[in-house]
């Protein structure tokens, strides 16, 4: 075996840490995965133990190398992709977190966001960051930690603390605290970063009372930012690619031309559309975000996206499994839902963590409507799957309107894409083909691609894109009238879910 045959991708997700070794053909050569604990201290609060995230990520990285039969000398670079917006602070001297990380799903800062809107800050914040004011993003989470963790604000003002999203935390750990850095995609999700100036925004920092000294440097998504400590993985390996999970998945799906889009089906569901080298402001409550930033002879070249995020997708299937016990394994939902031809007018709105785009209602709550005495487990299972497809169809309609481009196909990835019934539902309610790639690990592959481009493992984006191959194409079978009738009924169901957390 010659040296530098592989790329190691670290894929740190909301419910598990994964690592994948890829070869030059983009094929998976070794993997490792570990779930970690979710903490729910109060309704609407979601936390992670940052120490457990790091230990599980290191463990699976070593496992993936073993399973690939690879040593550190065989690895050209490490690429990192991560759950976005999840927020933590730690002591620069000891490296110890001051509190558990606040997960992107956490809604505790909804009142602060409401206050920001009441005070008239929403419009200018969206103009600068591309984001709507919502508890989803890191900025208000960081403000909450500084306000509520004993001694945090004083320590931050003394320059003793570091803030990071999960990519920053992993880079800090991999380099033994030598590098405090994020990439432009993760920075663009904090609500602290100016999308146009490509820098942290001092006006926003002042508004949220966040010292600039807390913040990491912002690097391109592709480019060496440091090397791993030799003792961690058996040798010093360049860390050369970093991107938030949805951006990495879009890159892994080779959506390199304006108008191309992908949807990732995981804990949540996230659709991103490439809109080119300039941000597009949304008139339909979508987000403008950085897709990736790449080194260029004239500086840094940025690609921008429109994004719509669904907070609960696969998590709704997990709830059927863990909360209701109507399936034993998540994969069982497909056969159960297939026992009926339709939902019998049952709709499930999985707003367990509020509603994201295009509704942005933190007080929405999960709702099932249309139940009758004839409703069975199968109807509820089918309605749960259909809720994922219907939410995604809402996003695509908004993207078509904002971009003025009607998508011709949707590329898909994530664990739920193995569910053929769901993929057919998605094609039916969208009215365009849904294309599942041969390599399902688009998120990790995108991180690998960014790292590989930086180190010459792949010579160009075109060489990397040539690896993308379709596994299966799902063509829509519904008429336009049937699609519109279903979407209209879905919108009625959503109205029942809205604002429930504020009632009474």
47 falls within a domain: yes
Residues 198 and 346 in one domain: no
Residues 62 and 166 in one domain: yes
The answer to the question of whether 246 is labelled as a binding residue is yes
Q: Catalogue the E-assigned strands of 388-480.
A: 410-413, 434-437, 470-474
pTM: 0.87
DSSP-assigned letter for residue 306: E
- With contact defined as beta carbons under 8 Å apart, do 79 and 10 qualify? yes
d(CA 153, CA 155): 5
pLDDT of 309: 85
CATH number of the domain within which 372 lies: 3.30.420.40
Last residue of a domain, one of 236, 270, 292: 236
Q: Catalogue the E-assigned strands of 145-187.
A: 161-164, 181-183
pLDDT of 105: 87
Query: Can you give 356-393 as a three-state secondary structure string?
Result: CCCCCECCCCCEEECCCCCCCHHHHHHHHHHHHHHHHH
Residues 232 and 338 in one domain: no
433 falls within a domain: no
Residues 319 and 216 in one domain: no
**Phi, psi values for residue 93, rounded to 5°:** -75, -45
189 falls within a domain: yes
Boundaries of domain holding 169: 6-236
464 falls within a domain: no
Count how many domains the chain has: 2
The answer to the question of whether 199 is labelled as a binding residue is no
- Residue for token pair 């063509």: 475
Q: How many helices (H) and strands (E) does the chain have?
A: 17, 23
363 falls within a domain: yes
The answer to the question of whether 417 is labelled as a binding residue is no
- With contact defined as beta carbons under 8 Å apart, do 25 and 467 qualify? yes
pLDDT of 457: 93
Residues 52 and 191 in one domain: yes
The answer to the question of whether 419 is labelled as a binding residue is yes
Residues 86 and 205 in one domain: yes
Mean pLDDT by 10 residues, the chain (504 residues): 78 94 92 94 93 97 96 96 96 96 93 95 93 92 96 95 97 97 96 93 96 96 96 96 95 92 88 91 88 83 91 91 93 95 95 87 92 96 96 92 87 91 96 91 93 93 90 96 96 94 71
Region of 499 (left: φ > 0; alpha: ψ -120 to 50; beta: rest) is: left
Residues 323 and 212 in one domain: no
The answer to the question of whether 293 is labelled as a binding residue is no
Residues 21 and 149 in one domain: yes
The answer to the question of whether 314 is labelled as a binding residue is yes
pLDDT of 3: 60
Residues 40 and 164 in one domain: yes
Contacts of 124 (CB under 8 A, 6+ apart): none
Last residue of a domain, one of 236, 271, 298: 236
Last residue of a domain, one of 395, 421, 436: 395
The answer to the question of whether 84 is labelled as a binding residue is yes
Taking Cα atoms as reference points, which of 312, 226, 236 lies closest to residue 270? 312
The answer to the question of whether 15 is labelled as a binding residue is yes
pLDDT of 193: 96
The answer to the question of whether 136 is labelled as a binding residue is yes
The answer to the question of whether 250 is labelled as a binding residue is no
Residues 13 and 161 in one domain: yes
329 falls within a domain: yes
The answer to the question of whether 85 is labelled as a binding residue is yes
251 falls within a domain: no
Residues 218 and 325 in one domain: no
The answer to the question of whether 14 is labelled as a binding residue is yes
Residues 74 and 223 in one domain: yes
d(CA 64, CA 32): 5
202 falls within a domain: yes
Q: For Cα atoms 63, 67, 72, give the angle at the middle one, nearest 5 degrees.
A: 70
């Amino acid at each position: 075996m010659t040296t530098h045959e592989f790329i190691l991708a670290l894929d740190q997700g909301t419910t598990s840490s994964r690592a994948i070794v890829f070869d030059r053909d983009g094929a998976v050569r070794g993997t490792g995965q570990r779930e970690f604990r979710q903490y729910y201290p109060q309704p609407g609060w979601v936390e992670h133990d940052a120490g457990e995230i790091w230990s599980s990520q290191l463990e699976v990285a070593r496992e993936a190398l073993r399973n690939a039969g690879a040593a550190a000398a065989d690895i050209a670079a490490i690429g990192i992709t991560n759950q976005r917006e999840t927020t933590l602070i730690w002591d620069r001297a000891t490296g110890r977190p001051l509190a558990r990380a606040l997960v992107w799903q956490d809604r505790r800062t909804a009142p602060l966001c409401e206050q920001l809107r009441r005070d008239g800050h929403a419009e200018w914040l969206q103009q600068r960051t591309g984001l709507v004011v919502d508890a989803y993003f890191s900025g208000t989470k960081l403000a909450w930690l500084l306000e509520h963790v004993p001694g945090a604000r004083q320590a931050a003002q003394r320059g003793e603390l570091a803030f990071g999203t999960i990519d920053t935390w992993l880079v800090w750990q991999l380099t033994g605290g030598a590098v405090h850095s994020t990439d432009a995609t993760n920075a663009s999700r904090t609500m602290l970063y100016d999308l146009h100036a490509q820098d942290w925004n001092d006006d926003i920092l002042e508004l949220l009372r966040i010292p600039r000294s807390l913040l990491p440097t912002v690097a391109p998504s592709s480019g060496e930012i440091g090397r791993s400590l030799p003792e961690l993985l058996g040798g010093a390996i360049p860390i050369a690619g970093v991107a938030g999970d949805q951006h990495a998945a879009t890159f892994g799906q080779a959506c390199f031309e304006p108008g191309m889009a992908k949807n990732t089906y995981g804990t949540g569901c996230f659709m991103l559309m490439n809109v080119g080298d300039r941000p597009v402001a949304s008139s339909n409550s979508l987000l403008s975000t950085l897709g990736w930033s790449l080194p260029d002879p004239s500086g840094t070249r940025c690609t921008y996206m429109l994004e719509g995020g669904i907070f609960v997708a696969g998590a709704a299937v997990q709830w059927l499994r863990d909360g209701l016990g109507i399936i034993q394994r998540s994969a069982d939902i497909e056969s159960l839902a297939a026992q009926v031809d339709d939902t019998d007018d049952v709709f499930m709105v999985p707003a367990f963590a509020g509603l994201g785009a295009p509704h942005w209602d933190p007080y929405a709550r999960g709702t099932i409507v249309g139940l009758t005495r004839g409703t069975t487990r199968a109807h509820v299972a089918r309605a749960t799957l259909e809720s994922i497809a219907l939410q995604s169809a809402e996003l695509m309609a908004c993207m078509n309107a904002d971009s003025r481009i009607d998508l011709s196909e949707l590329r898909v990835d994530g664990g739920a894409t193995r569910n053929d019934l769901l993929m057919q539902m998605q094609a039916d309610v969208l009215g365009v083909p849904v294309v599942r790639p041969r390599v399902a690990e688009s998120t990790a592959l995108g991180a690998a691609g960014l790292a590989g481009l930086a180190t010459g493992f792949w010579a160009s984006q075109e060489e990397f894109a040539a690896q993308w191959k379709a596994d299966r194409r799902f063509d829509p079978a519904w008429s336009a009238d049937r699609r519109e009738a279903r979407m209209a009924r879905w919108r009625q169901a959503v109205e029942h879910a809205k604002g429930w957390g504020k009632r009474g």
